[in-house]
Amino acid sequence: MPLSLPSLARGLVLSVVLLPACGDPGTSDPISPGPSADVGSSPPEDPVADDAGPPGRWREAPIPSAASDDGLDDAALQLNALGYTAGSRPAGGDVGVTLHDEARAFPGLNFVLSAHAPEAVITDMKGRVLHRWRKDFHDVFGYHRQDVGQESTRFWRRAVVLPDGGLLAVFDGLGLVRLDADSEVRWARALPVHHDLEVLPDGDILVLTRVARTLPDVAARIPGLLDDPDAPTHVLEDFLTRLAPDGRDRSHASLLQAFETADEHDWVPASERFWRERGDLEVTAEPNDVFHTNSLHVLAGRAERRHPAFAAGNVLLSMRHLDTIAVYSPEEDAITWTLVGETALQHDPLVTSAGNVVVFDNHWREGRSRVVAFDPADGRVVWEYGTRPGEELYSETCGAVQLLRNRNLLVTVSDAGRAIELTREGDVVWEYRNPRRAGDREQYVATLFEVVRLPEAFGADWLDRG
């Protein structure tokens, strides 16, 4: 990953324009928690808090029906986290674990990340909470004028539990924090990290970051800006950033540059297609946010026999504003494979044991999502769920999938506050509905960013199973 650290630091200067940042996002050193000389130790007035309802990210709760008990169509897709949603509808159905087929569900524990607060829990298969982490943004980074009122200070967009009971958590666009099992801060970085992270076998951490940079030649090729003579020339540029286990910088790689140097893959036609076909959707998509990369997954080589781009060590990516799934090669510093336009505003592609690419396809049809698997050799659909009667599911934003060892899929329907475990035949064998509700009639449900199945023996030396 050849980009120099000073180059990235210079690009961070403009990040506050389009992306909230905390402190000095260009610093290379982890920071200590708590206030510093130029950071307030007490909260200034929050212009959002008084009229935004409870902290966190909320959607109208789904209304179960004979046809569908999944999410509802919302008014707008936000680039960053949404606050309390206006309007009201009665919530329906049970919460917590509402279905558990013990014979067919994969046994284990569940790591649950909900947007009601900056916290995560581990539960058993019945939904009983066994452990909880929580740490407020301002307790980690202090108070900064530009962060007051930011919804993304109010929850963790992504979190990964570590074998020792520690936790890595992303405050979207603002920072990354490493907690211990007791929610004490080990280290924190004020970085424009967003959406996703993965811990590598050597303990290093791969994260998505993005910075605003003045790139007139790039801005001139963005279809969403072409008709605007006053359009700015700065763009949000996505990076793959590698950190050491203690949070210090290793390297950065520009995904924009990886496309620019690719032999066969061009982001401009994909961008043109996105704005042509998605422009009439009721979504918020800033043209300057060129790629809006929203997930990463380091490949293990399972699909290399299908396509050489899927070699071990390469990185599978989802780029929402291109309707594109892509593979990045660190060795070539280039994009080496793309699947364009077969999904819409998608999230979380992974490679199955059979070598196929499975992904949460948010906008398969209007008001409908699906989980779909493609053959990477030719883009052919080999499996899908959500397209037949009785399988309806919808999450306008977010969404996640996990491959389980019994070949089931654990699917998080984020905006609906729901997670389901699916068999290969499409049977639901486990279901969880987020119990975090709000409103005078509990008509809102907190976004369920992800439910991850952990091994039964996970945390044997620190997790109290009661």
CA–CA distance, 146 with 169 (Å, rounded to integer): 20
Residue 20 lies in a domain: yes
- What pLDDT, on the 0 to 100 scale, is given for residue 66? 34
**What pLDDT, in 10s, does the model give residues 356-393?**
999 999 999 989 999 999 999 999 999 999 999 999 89
- What pLDDT, on the 0 to 100 scale, is given for residue 21? 30
- Contact yes or no for 285/278 (Cβ under 8 A): yes
Domain with 404, as residue range(s), is 5-454
In this prediction, residues 172-177 reach a mean pLDDT of: 95
Name the residue among 71, 187, 100, 143 with its Cα closest to residue 444: 71
- Contact yes or no for 397/434 (Cβ under 8 A): no
Residue 399 lies in a domain: yes
Looking from the CA of 319 toward its CB, the CA atoms found within 13 Å total 32
47 has pLDDT over 70: no
**What pLDDT, in 10s, does the model give residues 136-147?**
999 999 876 565
- Contact yes or no for 100/430 (Cβ under 8 A): yes
Give the pLDDT band of residue 41 (cuts 50, 70, 90). very low
Residue 459 lies in a domain: no
Residue 464 lies in a domain: no
Average pLDDT score, the chain: 83
CA distances from 72 to 12, 191, 288, 429 (A): 37, 34, 28, 23
Residue 16, classed as helix, strand or coil, is helix
Sign of CA dihedral 182, 199, 146, 398: negative
- What pLDDT, on the 0 to 100 scale, is given for residue 6? 37
Give the pLDDT band of residue 148 (cuts 50, 70, 90). low
18 has pLDDT over 70: no
Name the residue among 148, 146, 176, 151 with its Cα closest to residue 78: 151
Number of domains within the chain = 1
Residue 118 lies in a domain: yes
Residue 213, classed as helix, strand or coil, is strand
311 has pLDDT over 50: yes
Per the structure block, which two tokens stand in for 202? 């050597």
Give the pLDDT band of residue 441 (cuts 50, 70, 90). confident
Residue 460 lies in a domain: no
Residues in the chain: 466
163 has pLDDT over 50: yes
- What DSSP element (H or E) covers 267? helix 267-278
Backbone φ, ψ for residue 170 (5° rounding) = -105, 120
Nearby residues of 46 by Cβ (< 8 Å), 6 or more positions away: 148, 149
Name the residue among 63, 125, 66 with its Cα closest to residue 100: 125
Complete edge-to-edge strand list for the sheet that includes strand 444-446 = 58-60, 444-446, 437-438
Residue 465 lies in a domain: no
Query: What is the secondary structure of 22-78 as a DSSP string?
Result: -S-TT--S-B-SS--TTSBSS----TTGGGS-SSS-EEEPP---SS--SPPPPS---
Residue 466 lies in a domain: no
**What pLDDT, in 10s, does the model give residues 177-233?**
999 999 999 999 999 999 999 999 999 999 999 999 999 889 888 887 766 677 777
20 has pLDDT over 90: no
Name the residue among 389, 360, 436, 438 with its Cα closest to residue 120: 436
- What pLDDT, on the 0 to 100 scale, is given for residue 145? 53
**What pLDDT, in 10s, does the model give residues 90-123?**
334 589 999 999 999 999 999 999 999 999 999 9
Instruction: Give the rounded distance of the alpha carbon of 148 from its chain centre.
Output: 22
Per the structure block, which two tokens stand in for 455? 């091994």
- Which pTM value belongs to this model? 0.85
The single residue listed with the structure tokens 């009667």 is: 389
Per the structure block, which two tokens stand in for 171? 């405050």
CATH code where residue 126 lies: 2.130.10.10
